[in-house]
Structure 1
């Protein structure tokens, strides 16, 4: 089955299916998504993949999920992608075919500018980043959930940089970035050790930004991105 062969791709299939319905107006605020079981059957994936896609959509602020039964249970749309967000989601679909090396190189260029601008600014706001760091400390996160929050952390820094073009480009590349980051989990022998390392790297990066240390922030983000890329490619 597709999920057994490509588990990372399976949850992306669910995510893209729901995003298309949102973009095309088949779903809107107040609408309830199909159940995990129904979506899993319709798309030929496991229910765990549906849950992972729901988690990402919830982090993006597009849906709210609640357990139990009744009118408030399940996954409900609370926002619809309009304007810039709609364009970004469409860019994500196009970005699926970008070469991995190009995506990584683009991240290095963009995120170098992001952390440099934030560290140099007297009006920096890293409160969203700190909130995400705390969320990533939860011990019950799956690799997929952890990395979804990881991606949101990097996006929060881009949004906080004050450069709306860079923030838009980072958001538009989300699919390509998450695709290789999530796909690389299988190449990591000890995920718990890697997760601890990523937590430490994120905290060091945000601390450098808070301290206004431009050079250190740039050095840390370059090593953070490059080292993960190198590790997932190492046999």
Structure 2
């Protein structure tokens, strides 16, 4: 069976457009080639082009407008980073992810990120540090504290500079926040737990700044697993 059969043709279009986005040939604000041109260039039907554009729009990579004139057609609105995050959010909204799977993914992403940051020369931790300052504000509600907690972890991952890891973390952020909030209701002493979490955040930053990658990895694992235990959240089954 040929790769350009109808069942496969829209993927040919999708892969071509994604490659152009990743290479920089297309970027935010650029107009996509017309459907007719894409179909002719790639040797596929216009229906396959439309299907590929629909997928890209759902992913948040492009915006399409009908009609004619300068505002018609498909416009690139985001990079693949944003599209991957949006795709994960759509997956969560449609099907959800088991908490143990999200938990295990967090450990994979964050342990790698903090170890990588510790190995970098002059890692930019300003935004993560600013988030910790905000978490020290007096009379902060539990909900606001947890939103900042989530932001701290996202900022750390973003500081690593790996756009795929950052996009994955961003795509999981809402589901992480939802179970963290639900778990907070089961924490017996929130004042003590909040103080401990702030201390652990600061220790993670210090380990990164000292270039201690193994220590940073161990601290972030203990930090995440400790909250899961306090909140009674299901951990992954041991393999």
- For Structure 1 versus Structure 2, the TM-score category normalised by the shorter chain is 0.5 to 0.7
Deviates more, 1:87-96 or 1:135-144: 87-96
Q: Quote the residue 2:146 is aligned against.
A: 147
Is residue 2:92 matched to residue 1:95? yes
Query: Quick one: distance in 2 between partners of 1:87 and 1:212?
Result: 30
Unaligned runs of 5+ in 2: 1-57, 64-76, 234-239
For the aligned residues, what is the CA RMSD?
A: 2.2
**The 10-residue stretch of structure 1 (85-94 or 220-229) with the greater mean CA deviation from structure 2:** 85-94
The gaps in structure 1 that reach 5 residues or longer are: 1-19, 26-80
Deviation, structure 1 residue 183: 0.9
Query: What is the 5 A alignment of 1:58-207?
Result: 82-83=78-79, 84-85=81-82, 87-96=84-93, 97-207=96-206
2:221 matched to which residue of 1?
A: 222
Contact kept, 8 Å, 1:155 with 1:171, in 2: the verdict is yes
For 2:158 and 2:150, locate their aligned partners in 1 and report how far apart those are by CA, in whole Å. Answer: 12
Alignment CA distance shift 1:91-1:184 (3 Å): same
Correspondence list, 1:22-61, <5 A? none
Residue pair 1:159, 1:167 contacting (<8 A) in 2 also: yes
The Cα of 1:87 is off from its aligned counterpart by 4.6
TM-score with structure 2 setting the length:
0.62
Tell me by how many angstroms 1:92 deviates. Answer: 1.6
Shift of the 86–164 alpha-carbon distance from structure 1 to 2, 3 Å rule, reads closer
Is contact 2:88–2:168 with CA below 8 Å preserved after alignment? no
Question: Deviation at 1:233?
Answer: 1.1
* Equivalent pair of 2:61/2:82 in contact (CA under 8 Å): no
Q: Is the 8 A contact 1:118 1:161 kept in 2?
A: yes
- Partner Cα distance (1:103, 1:86) in 2: 19
Deviations 1:10-68 (A, max 9, x none): xxxxxxxxxx9x9999xxxxxxxxxxxxxxxxxxxxxxxxxxxxxxxxxxxxxxxxxxx
